[in-house]
Structure 1
């Protein structure tokens, strides 16, 4: 039985681009960017898993899997 983390890592790798995260969460990229600017539980959780490499922004697959599996963090 595959877990969400296994699926995300096999499909996207250990780090997901903004477009991939938006696709997994069923949002547009612009909607995801707006959500990241807010101060709520979801944005804090996503921002904690954010990794910058140069000018590019990636998100850890583990962080996204936790969000998908557990829903909105408290």
Structure 2
């Protein structure tokens, strides 16, 4: 049980970092995954989609579109 809690904490932490890298940098998705310890981009993308319901590319695009919308006001 303790191991599951630790794994979940680590997973959530990595996903929060992924969001920061996606929104605050122009790093490639593959580079973000590698930086977070994923050996393969596909594993990173699958994990991210499991957490947020969209791929990292979609997440970045949606957030940038939302930011642009607010700048137009």
* TM-score clears 0.5: no
Larger RCO, structures 1/2 (Cα 8 Å, 6+ apart)? 1
TM-score (norm 2): 0.32
Q: TM-score, normalised by structure 1?
A: 0.32
| Structure ID, larger Rg | 2
